Amino acid sequence: MNRISYTLFLLLMAVLSTFAQTVRIQAPDVCEVGRRINVSYVVDTQDVEDIQVGEFPGFEMLYGPSTSSQSSFQMINGKTTHSSTITFTYVLLAEKEGDYTLPAASVKVNGKTIRSGTATIQVLPSSNSSQGMSSAHGSSSQGSHHSDGTVSDRDLFITATASKSRIFEQEAVVLTYKLYTLVNLRQLAGEMPELDGFHCQELNSKAQLSLKYERYNGRNYGTAIWRQYVLFPQKSGKMTIPSVSFDAEVEVTNHTADPFDIFFGGGSLTQMFRKTIRTPEVEIDVKPLPSPVPSNFSGAVGKFSMTGTLTPEQLDANDAASMRIVVSGQGNMKLMKSPSVDMPKDFEVYTPKETDKTTSTAGGAKGNVIFDYVIVPRHGGRYSIPPVEFVYFNPDAEKYVTLRTDSFHLAVAKGQPVAGGTSVREKEDLRVLSSDIHYINTRKANIRKSVDGFFGTTVYVLIYIGALTLFLLLLAIFYRQAKANADIARKRGKRAGKEATKRLKVARKLLKNHEAGPFYEETLRALLGYVGDKLNIPMTHLAKENVREALAARGVDEALIRQYMDVLESCEFARFAPGDPMATMDKIYESATQAINNLNKNL
């Protein structure tokens, strides 16, 4: 039974491995007319019986297929994995410009036919310059440059373009800086200047640059979007985006290099060249928003929708309800104002909490902004809250649009009055009672003379005397504590020499017993402990730099400080140094004893 199960398992694994095989195509995305390219079909196994590939439109097949195989073994935690591939490569020559589809390949693996996918490739016209694009690496090769290594403005430049040249105030416009290069660009740096009159948001600031090829003025450039910004003009009129400077580092061919120097390592075929690139200015005509502007205009420009909810719909007086207004769409959502709500009399409405759930896109901020209002009704009843309005400007339709929610209904039961205050209904009752006529009280009123103030009373004097007594008592306690601390520091400094002598005696015994590790530890304790006790430095602050500064502050001679620090470093080094730690114990002991004695005399 076990053999049968094992055999079935092997058959299942063989079937699964057959279906797991894939064929993938590898080819450049773009090339020039007259350029050679390699198109490869990679199979995830070497058990390939046959391969069939269709025609290559737009290309002449110069050679193929050539085959190459690769195998790898890997062992991790006793488990061995094996992988193998075989690659079929065709060498093609681009004949005509246009967009072409490279054919799929079909291969037979263990009697099963597996097909690859297809790939598209763009063939550009041949470049006018002798140096074109490098199809092997998918990047631009070096363009033309002068003998002194400079690069012309036609080989490397950056354009600045606006998605619209005529917009409304607060309408989004995309500013794009695009790189064009025919040279080997190594580094490019530049920052957007401060823009007066614009609110600016950067798009894809951390995106990786990848070159794509584009036909421009008869040449095939490697191009990339360097930076993109969404701008919202804050005023109308002719507005200018200033020129931006970029610092580029380019690798160019060194025509003046001596071949003999290069052969013997004294030169290089390439050299780095720095170039400053300036973008052109961009002008935008900003139109003012149409008049008259609605009084409840939110400042939003774009396209939006709005929803509103009220929860709960039943509650007690003086309890809180939540009204949520959600504005969704695309535009200057980070600059718009919250919708205004019209509540019944005696409702309290707090400043809404704003939650921004937008992302920056080419059309402005996109997503939704949530406004949460807290509403507190102060007395019972049934109320109808008018619809919430949101007015925005649609630049495409060139008109103001008003959005409205449905009306809200709220049932409020009579609750407890607010502590420390009078409810609105009670205030209304008081106003009614005040209009009645009451009898005049003819009895003699009992009027007492009130105290003019607290100052000068008996209680005031007692509190003043008590506070003064407490202050003097605390002052005496602090003074006594400071004096005690000073006495402790002074006593610690006086016994510093004795404590160091005790530690050195212990180190001497360890030296005689040839116990290297404990010896060096005790010697370090003697050195650091002496300075810590003498200068009243806590053990946690006994770093070498702190010790050096403290000794210098006490006026210790620089030679003594250097002697002490040398012994300290020698002791630390000998403690962990390789080799025989016993060899230097005698010398370090004598040096430590002498350093402590010299410091003790000086201090």
For position 325, what pLDDT does the model report? 95
Task: State the pLDDT confidence band at 454, using cuts at 50, 70 and 90.
Answer: low
Among 237-241, 497-501, 527-531, the range of highest mean pLDDT: 237-241
Q: One-letter amino acid identity for 197?
A: G
What is the SS3 assignment for 301?
strand
- Residues with Cβ within 8 Å of 141's Cβ and at least 6 positions away in sequence, in order, are 131, 132, 133, 134, 182, 184
pLDDT tens per residue, range 124-155: 887 654 444 443 333 444 445 554 556 788 88
3-state secondary structure of 314: strand
Is residue 297 scored above 90 in pLDDT? Answer: yes
- How much is the pLDDT for 388? 95
For residues 179 and 464, the model is more confident at 179
Contacts of 37 (CB under 8 A, 6+ apart): 27, 28, 31, 59, 91, 92, 94, 121, 135
d(CA 386, CA 127): 68
pLDDT at 37: 87
Higher pLDDT, 65 or 489: 65
Q: Is the pLDDT of residue 29 over 60?
A: yes
pLDDT score recorded for residue 262: 47
pLDDT for position 152: 84
Q: Is the pLDDT of residue 439 over 70?
A: no
**CA pair distance 599, 532, nearest whole angstrom:** 13
pLDDT higher than 80, residue 180: yes
Query: Angle 547-552-555 (CA atoms, 0-180°, nearest 5)?
Result: 135
Alpha carbons 575 and 563: distance in angstroms, whole number: 18
Listed residue (101, 122, 115, 124) closest to 32, CA to CA: 124
C-beta neighbour count of 584 within 10 angstroms: 18
Q: Do 235 and 286 meet the contact criterion of CB atoms below 8 Å apart? A: yes
Across 287-326, b (16+ Cβ under 10 Å) vs e yields: eebeeeeeeebbebbbbbebebebeeeebebbeebebbbb
Encode 384-397: b = buried (16+ Cβ within 10 Å), e = exposed: ebeebbbbbbbbee
pTM of the shown model:
0.52
Host H or E run for residue 105: strand 105-109
CB atoms near residue 598 (< 10 Å): 16
Average pLDDT of every residue of the chain: 79
Report the 10 Å Cβ neighbour count for 495.
12
pLDDT at 182 over 80: yes
CATH 2.60.40.740 holds for 304-413: yes
CA–CA dist 490, 37 (Å, integer): 87
CATH number of 2-124: 2.60.40.10
What pLDDT is attached to residue 73?
67
